[in-house]
Every structure is written in C-alpha cells, then in structure tokens.
Chains A and B, each alone.
Chain A
Amino acid sequence: MNKRPYAWVRQLAAFAILLAIWEASGRAGLLNPLYAPAPSQIAAALVDLFGSGRIWTHMEATFTAALGGLALGILIGVAVAIVAAMVPLVAELVEPVMTLLNAIPRVILAPLFVIWLGIGTSSKVALAVVLVAVLMFFTVFTGIRQVDQRLVERIITLGGGRVALIRHVYLPSVAAWVMGSLKVAIGFAFTGAVVGEFVAASRGLGYLLSFAQSTYNAALMLAIVLLIMIVVLVIFALGGLLERRLLRWS
C-alpha cells in the first residue's frame, strides 16, 4: 500500500476530535454514562486501577497466561508440524484433528479446560496454546511441504548434507513463516488468556472484565479494553522489531 506522508498526524487529529465530541456530548448530558461513559470517566477508571495498584496482579495473570500460551503454542505447533512433515503416519493422524480444531471456534473449549485444569493459570494457558498451536501447525506444515525445491537442490549440488539442508533451508523458511503469522498468534494468545479468565478465574484482565460486567461498570470495562489494546500494540511493536531483525533479507 502506498501511504501518504504524515498519515499518523491526520489519524491522531481525527481521533482527538472524536474524543472531544464524545466528551462534550457526555458533559452535555446527551449520552447515558451508564452505557457510554465519557472519555474522562474511562481515564478516571484507568487511573484508579493503576493508582490503587490492584491492576498489577491482574495484568500479571493475563500476561503470564498469554505469553506462556504463545511460547508454548508456537513450540508445540512448530514441533508437531515438523514431525508431521517428516513422518507420514503422524501427518495422517494429526492433520484431521488439526483440521477439526481449526474448523471450530476453539474458545468453546474454555469451560472444558476449567473442568480439567481448574480456575488457575493453567486452564488459560491451555486455551491460548490450543488457539496458537493450531495456527502455527498449519502455517509450518503447509510451509514445509511447499519449501522451495530449487533451494533444496542448490544445497545438495553445492555439497551440503542433511544438516546443511535443515540449517540453511528449512530453519530459515520455518522462521519466516512463524514470523509471518506472529501477529495473529499474539492476538490469539491474548484472546485465549482473556476469554479463559472471563469464563472462570480469580485474577486477570478477563476476570476484571467479567467483574465490570456483573456490576454494570461500563467505564471500568472500556478502561480494561483500552488497556488490553495498548498492551497488545506494544507487543506487536516488539514482534515487529523481531521480525525486521530476523527477516531483514525480505
């Protein structure tokens, strides 16, 4: 896409105007604060969350679940994909399961994980893992099967063996595919963590959300949504840095 220069200036300005209108209509009594609290009220809720310090334990819970689930999900997804690509029998057995898991909205497994693993962190990690691992499995599995055969032949004719093939062709290819779907995976990991907490938990941003819902606290709810957005954007940026570092050849 060809971006016009200073797009962010216009975007920021539009956002500021929107906020101003929103705030003004709130103060003018045009919006019901119960449903649509003004930005200042959301900010106040956010300040209160941090000011009282009670946000940290929730952030920690969600982060642990999401990042743990992300790492574990990538590891499991990539590992299973590699084994499946090398052992036809594994592919035969695993692929239908993955296809099935891919077809259903995987968050419906959340209650099941609560029964199996309790309301602690592990059930959230498990949900994030399932979300991420299935995505990674397909990314890497199809990727390995479509690895550029010319590169494979190039390595062979230059005198490289199996180890060289894995090191110079397969690993970089896998890294590229994993990087390509990292952003989606990060989103999935947080979805898993938050939804898991939403279903049953005693800590976490998802738990806070469900608390806000049960008390009809729209300001708190929007504050948490905002917080999650900021957190994910920061992680995206970090992922982007990593991607640029690892894929600087592309």
Chain B
Amino acid sequence: MRVRDLSISYGAEPVLEGVDIGVGEGQFVSLVGPSGSGKSSLLRAVIGLQKPLDGSIELDVPSTDIGILFQDDALLPWKTARENVALGLTFRGIKKDEALAQADFWLARLGLAGFENRFPRRLSGGQRKRVALAQVLALKPKLILMDEPFASLDAIVRARVIQDVVALVEREHISVLLVTHDLEEALWLSDTIYLLSQGPHAHITREYNVPIPRPRDLIRARKHPAFAPLYEKLWRDLSREVGAAPRLVASDADAA
C-alpha cells in the first residue's frame, strides 16, 4: 500500500497535506503524531470512508482484503460476540454454522473462550476490543489498519494481545498500518515508524527504521541495544511536535 501526496480537509484548512506513507508486503508500519493531527482521518481515507482532497492511494490488495479496527470501535449491540465475529464471514458467503465455528476459534485465540454468547453490553471495554480484533482477523486480511486498538487494555492483557498480534502478523505475513500514541508499542511492533507533525497541514516529518530482528518477543525487544536510543529520539521528536505552536496564524497569513 502506498499513500502519495495525500491531503484531507474537512473545511477551509487541510488537516493533512502532502502525506507520503508506504506499507510494504508483510511490513508492520506505525504512525505516531500529536492528537488531532489527522491519523484517524488518514486511515479512513485508505479504506475509502473519507474522500481525500488531493493525492493518491495505491492498494496492492483488493479492498476486501483490508481490515480496519476503529479507534472508537462499535460492535452491533444486538448480536452476541460470536455473531459479531461471524458477520463479516457471512458477508463473504460462508455458511452461518461454519462462520460461527470460525468465530469461536478466533475468540478463543484472543482469550475470549466462554464469552461467545455474551452481548457487547455485558463485555468489558477490553473484551469488546478483542471481539472487534477477532472480527477483523477472522476475515484473514492481507492488510490491517489499526487505530489505537490496544489503548483500553490493561497492561497484562495488552502485552498478551500485542504478542498474539505480532505472532500472527509475522506468521501470516500480514501488512499492518498501526496508529498509536504509545511509542513503546510502536517500537515493539514496527519495522518502520512515521512521525506526523502537529496539524493543521500535518505531514510526515520523520521516518524511523526499527532494526530489531523478527520474530519479536516483547521482553527481548526491549533489551535490544537499538531500543532505548530510538525510544528517546522518538520521544524528543514527538515532544517537539506536540509543543510546536499550531501554525494557524502563519497559514492564515499565507492564504491572505
């Protein structure tokens, strides 16, 4: 997948301007940046929920092979966990029984065995997140877009889910574009990290390569000699972006 010169606007001023991002086959790419810089908007543009103002989005997989996990994910409240997971499978013409069986399998993989027949209302936030993850993984996507999928999980569960995702992604050779606020998470998971500048007119200011070898293990990744310096660098650069004054005034002057 490749995003070239992408601009997105909701009003007078573009939120994103001239963004370039690439996710190679089987690559894990993270996107970090200040809140409100347009990370979610970018993901929405990639799956076609948001029409870009300018630029191009090249997909090397059919759109049915793209899965997305939204930031504020919503399951259908009137369907049980397994029915929710099975839904996408039935859209692909898989018979209901078979779809439900696969749903149970994926729920179990994400540690939700025994919760199959719960309605979302009766699940915790973290459990709902995992159901949504199962919903996407069950479709065996080639490219997954994730918008802070692990944010509401507690530390232990989060590490477990992340480790699971890493293993799965590595084994199935899935490409991922992950949006996260968590730099440690980005380093654990990614091959490449992009830093988005403070919006409006947000663009990619830096690109980092994470030289930690795969298969990755969270504990060992943290002890890798490249981890700490990269973390520090990311932190410094991101802080600078967050601290940067919004360029509202300057760009108004530009426009005039």
Contact at B76–A169, with CB atoms within 8 Å?
A: yes
Q: Which of A63-71, A135-143, A153-161 contacts B (4 or more CB under 8 A)?
A: A153-161
CB atoms of A151 and B76 under 8 A apart:
yes
Partner of B135, one of A158, A176, A249: A158
Bound-complex Cα distance A158 to B132 (A)? 11
B73-110 to A contact mask, C-beta < 8 Å, 1/0: 11111111000000110011000000000000000000
Residues of chain B contacted by A150 (CB below 8 angstroms): 70, 72-74
Least Cβ distance of A180 to chain B in Å? 14
Among candidates A148, A160, A247, A248, residue contacting B74 with C-beta atoms closer than 8 Å: A148
Count of chain B residues with Cβ under 8 Å from any Cβ of A?
A: 24
With A159-B88, A250-B121 known to touch, is A168 a contact of B49 (CB < 8 Å)? no
Q: Is the CB of B49 within 8 A of A153?
A: yes
How many Å from the CB of A109 to the closest CB on chain B? 37
Query: Is chain B's interface secondary structure helix, strand, loop, or mixed overall?
Result: loop
Q: Which residues of B are found within 8 Å of A249, using beta-carbon distances?
A: 77-80, 119-121
- B76 touching A157 by the CB < 8 A rule? no
Closest CB in chain B relative to A64 CB, distance in Å: 33
A172 touching B73, Cβ below 8 Å: no
Closest to A250 in B: B121
Complex CA–CA separation, A137 to B80 (angstroms): 29
Size category of the binding interface on chain A: 20 to 34
- A86 CB–B CB distance under 8 Å: no
Contact with A along B125-138 (1 / 0, CB 8 A): 00000000001000
Q: A155 — which chain B residues lie within 8 A by C-beta? A: 87
Asked if B74 and A159 sit within 8 Å, CB to CB, the answer is: no
Residue of B nearest to A156 (CB): B49
Q: How far is the CA of A150 from the CA of B73 in the complex (A)?
A: 7
The answer, yes or no, to whether A97 is at the interface (CB within 8 Å) is no
Hey, which chain A residues are within 8 Å of B91, CB to CB? 158-161, 164
CA distance A95 to B49 in the complex (A): 30
B54 to chain A, nearest CB (A): 23
**Closest CB-CB distance, B143 to chain A, in whole Å?**
12
Min CB distance, A151 to chain B, in Å?
A: 5
B74 with A158: CB separation less than 8 A:
no
Q: How far is the CA of A40 from the CA of B135 in the complex (A)?
A: 64
- Taking CB atoms, residues of chain B closer than 8 Å to A151 are 74, 76
**Given A159-B91, A160-B87, A249-B79, A154:B121 Cβ within 8 A:** no
B159 beta carbon closer than 8 Å to chain A: no
**Binary per-residue interface labels of chain B (45-63) against chain A in the complex, 1 for a CB within 8 Å, 0 otherwise:** 0010100000000000000
- Distance in angstroms from A248 CB to nearest chain B CB is 8
* B50 smallest CB distance to A (angstroms): 10
Those of A102-151 within 8 Å (CB) of chain B: 148, 150-151
B61 to chain A, nearest CB (A): 14
A169's nearest neighbour on chain B, judged by CB, is B76
Q: Which residues of B sit under 8 angstroms from A176, Cβ to Cβ?
A: 78
Q: Can you name 14 A-B pairs with beta carbons within 8 Å? A: A150-B74, A153-B70, A154-B75, A157-B68, A158-B87, A158-B139, A159-B88, A168-B79, A168-B87, A172-B78, A249-B79, A249-B80, A250-B119, A250-B121
Chain A residues with CB under 8 Å of chain B are: 148, 150-151, 153-161, 164, 168-169, 172, 176, 247-250
A-B pairs with lowest CB-CB distance, top 5: A158-B88, A150-B74, A249-B119, A159-B91, A249-B78
